[in-house]
Amino acid sequence: MLPMLHQNRDIVVIVPPEGRLKKYDVALYKRGSSYILHRIIGTQDEEYLIRGDNTYRMEYVPPELMIGVLTGFVRNGKSYSVEDTGYQIYCRIWNAIYPLRKLLFLMRRIAGKTARMLGLRR
């Protein structure tokens, strides 16, 4: 969940989901043998449309795979709730600028491939 959450720095508070999850909730679910913590960005039919904060691919996840939902996190000894206004603003802005972030990611990827083709970079 970079850039919001960092492994070995932040402690997340996860509780079992109660009822239907909503847009901007951060859900914990299992995919194969991995546990995934990604944000719900919408719903389609009976599935959740999910994407990590630093990923550019969406997944469709059925409700029965949901294990928990983020209710807060601790960073540097200070607790933050998903109900905090600052957190709510972050969620909305980060998702609103997704098209721009994806465009910048693609441009950087093309520039890197071009530089490698020209022998300017490995």
Q: How confident is the model at residue 14 (pLDDT cuts 50, 70, 90)?
A: very high
- Would 20 be classed as within a structural domain? yes
Tell me the per-residue pLDDT of 57-103, one tens digit each, with 9 for 90 and over.
899 999 999 999 999 999 999 999 999 999 999 889 988 998 898 89
Position 122 in a domain: no
pLDDT reported for residue 11: 93
Residue 108 lies in a domain: no
pLDDT at 122: 76
Averaged confidence pLDDT in the chain:
90
**104 domain-assigned:** no
Residue 92 CB neighbour total at 10 angstroms: 12
CATH code at position 63:
2.10.109
CB contact at 8 A, 59 and 98:
no
Nearest to 25 by CA among 9, 3, 43: 43
120 phi and psi angles, rounded to 5 deg: -85, -15
Any domain includes 33:
yes
Nearest to 37 by CA among 65, 70, 10: 70
Mean per-residue pLDDT for 9-29? 94
pLDDT at 8: 80
Domain containing 78 equals 11-97
76 belongs to a structural domain: yes
Q: Is residue 56 part of a domain?
A: yes
Number of domains in the chain: 1
User: 98, 42, 32, 30: which is closest to 68 by C-alpha?
Assistant: 30
Q: Inform me whether the pLDDT recorded for 2 exceeds 80.
A: no
Is 21 domain-assigned?
yes
Q: What is the pLDDT of residue 80?
A: 93
